[in-house]
Amino acid sequence: MALVPCQVLHAAILLSYCSILCNYKAIDMPAHQTYGGSWKFLTFIDLVIQAVFFGICVLTDLSSLLTRGNDSQEQERQLKKLISLRDWMMAVLAFPVGVFVVTMFWSIYIYDRELVYPKLLDNFIPAWLNHGMHTTVLPFVLIEMRTTHHQYPSRSCGLAAVCTFAVGYILWVCWIHHVTGVWVYPLLEHLSPGVKIIFFAAVTIVINVFYLVGEVLNNYIWDTQKCIEEGKEKPKVE
């Protein structure tokens, strides 16, 4: 019975991300026409990650329903591969990148919005879409963690994958600056070369910390759930 609400939830979140992406891409902003297009922004990359992740969740739910009561070993193997991919994406991309985007964006926005989201963007991006890109990501990923158990990879492999993503994006941002002479984020214009290196290192560390937070939170939620279920199964001693 618990599976049906999860299926509906996954489908609803996937549809919301598709709507956000479609509305965002429909906006005629000058930044979308420059080198790198939307792909130079971590927010957009994160939206794609979340949409792909929840798409895999929906596919896994459907495959699970179709293979239920079926003795086909091949279908079982395919389902296990889907579940492994879903869990890997949650651990390495969906949770750490999603939480990083939300916390980093709003932290800088509160300090000085011009450094990350200039007021000029209000003319192009409505408030609801801004929250869809920078706010709802966090509750969605937390709900997913609470409703579905995810098997995390080994810590060394997980951290290596997160570092690869972080360094890859930093190099992409630097390459865009090399080609265009303009930094993707106004904040970087105000930092000296030495401070930029420290900033990029700190960003990499923070996103790795979020990976560890996700791992600890996942284990805590599901270890606690397991203890509760085991407690219910124990016969009462009179």
Cα separation of 180 and 65, whole Å?
50
Q: What local confidence, expressed as pLDDT, does residue 6 receive? A: 85
Q: What local confidence, expressed as pLDDT, does residue 1 receive? A: 40
Q: What is the pLDDT along the chain (238 residues), one digit of tens a residue?
A: 454 478 899 999 999 999 999 999 998 888 888 899 999 999 999 999 999 999 999 999 998 888 776 777 777 888 899 999 999 999 999 999 999 999 999 999 999 999 889 898 898 899 999 999 999 999 999 999 999 999 999 999 999 999 999 999 999 999 999 999 999 998 999 999 999 999 999 999 999 999 999 999 999 998 866 656 655 555 544 4
Neighbours of 98 (CB within 10 A): 25
Cα separation of 80 and 74, whole Å?
10
Q: What local confidence, expressed as pLDDT, does residue 151 receive? A: 93
Cα separation of 212 and 215, whole Å?
5
Q: What local confidence, expressed as pLDDT, does residue 77 receive? A: 86
Q: What local confidence, expressed as pLDDT, does residue 140 receive? A: 96
* 43 to 61, 104, 232, 237: CA distances (angstroms): 27, 11, 43, 55
Q: What local confidence, expressed as pLDDT, does residue 231 receive? A: 58
